[in-house]
Amino acid sequence: QKEVEQNSGPLSVPEGAIASLNCTYSDRVSQSFFWYRQYSGKSPELIMSIYSNGDKEDGRFTAQLNKASQYVSLLIRDSQPSDSATYLCAVVTGGFKTIFGAGTRLFVKA
Amino acid sequence: DARVTQTPRHKVTEMGQEVTMRCQPILGHNTVFWYRQTMMQGLELLAYFRNRAPLDDSGMPKDRFSAEMPDATLATLKIQPSEPRDSAVYFCASGSSGGIYEQYFGPGTRLTVT
């Protein structure tokens, strides 16, 4: 079992819809969780961080964390074609060690 | 505009040659990470440093890879000798140990070993 798992996709949603991206992790002591966006040929860009159970909203993005279920999700409201990218889930497992998931490719159709 | 810088951006070399990649972290950041990204393996953590001291390099092939931080403004990743399977994009990221673990990535070095 991989330490951080994501559905590789591609996930295709129409413009204006809600995109839902999911991530599960195996290390129960993980405390810090992040979502990065990576456009093709570019470097990962931090878009959301979450540290406690519940929801965290930033503009059109909402991160959700459920530590009991070892589950992290990212919702993108009013999806735009510019949101088309690969979304990477990252989990800090101990000290500063960060494990990334394989990423979910998102396509937003105009 | 604070950002992580990496040099070179692209490198093509022949098998057996030494490759050195450099990274300048964001000023004030005391944690530096090296990652390798391939289509097959995704983003893999190779090594990371805090306050210039190596914390973990278990992700690196020890026989050919080495990572150092000669000073707070420079991190290096060296491969000697290089092999075709080392072809990948190598990213450096930096962060602050202020307890939040957020990382900011450089543009990457695309390495091709022929």
d(CA B14, CA B85): 12
Q: Measuring CA to CA, which residue among A66, A60, A3, A54 is closest to residue A37?
A: A60
Q: Residue A97: its pLDDT value, please?
A: 82
Judged by CB atoms closer than 8 Å, whether chains meet at A98 and B102 is answered as: no
- Residues from chain B that touch A49, judged by Cβ atoms under 8 A, are 100, 102
Q: What is the pLDDT of residue B45?
A: 92
Per the CB < 8 Å rule, is A95 touching B55?
yes
| Highest mean pLDDT: which range of A10-24, A83-97, B54-68 | A10-24
Please compute the mean of the pLDDT values over residues A25-40 and round it to a whole number.
92
* Widest pairwise Cα distance in chain A: 42
Residue B114 has pLDDT above 60, yes or no: yes
* Calpha distance B58→A82 (Å, rounded): 37
Looking at residue B70, its pLDDT comes to: 93
User: pLDDT grade, residue A79 (50/70/90)?
Assistant: very high
Q: Is the pLDDT of residue A7 over 90?
A: no
- Asked if the C-beta of B27 comes within 8 angstroms of chain A's C-beta atoms, the answer is no
The fraction of chain B above a pLDDT of 90, given in percent, is 79
What ranges make up the beta strands (E) of chain A? 4-6, 11-14, 19-25, 32-38, 45-50, 54-58, 61-66, 71-76, 85-94, 97-100, 104-109
Residues 55-84 of A with CB under 8 A from B: none
Average pLDDT, chain B: 93
Instruction: Write out pLDDT tens, residues A53-64.
Output: 999 999 999 999
- Chain A positions touching B105 (Cβ under 8 A) are 36, 43-45
- For the record, the structure tokens of A40 come out as 């093709």
Does B110 contact chain A (CB < 8 Å)? no
Distances (CA, A) of A39 to A6, A69, A87: 17, 29, 9
Residues of chain A contacting B42 with CB distance shorter than 8 Å: 100-103
B94's CB contacts (< 8 A; 6+ apart) are B4, B23, B25, B26, B29, B31, B32, B33, B103, B104
B102 lies within 8 A of chain A by CB:
yes
Mean pLDDT across the stretch A78-100? Answer: 91
SS3 B70: strand
pLDDT tens-place string over residues B11-26: 999 999 999 999 999 9
Residue type, A86: T
Q: State residue A93's pLDDT score.
A: 82
Residue B1 has what pLDDT? 64
pLDDT at B99 over 60: no
Residues β-bridged to residue A62: A57, A75
CA dihedral A93, A96, A99, A105 (to 10 degrees): 120
Tokens representing A53 are 């159970």
pLDDT of residue B100: 67
Which of A17-21, A47-51, A92-96, B62-66 has the least mean pLDDT?
A92-96
Residues of B in contact with A46 (CB under 8 A): 102-104
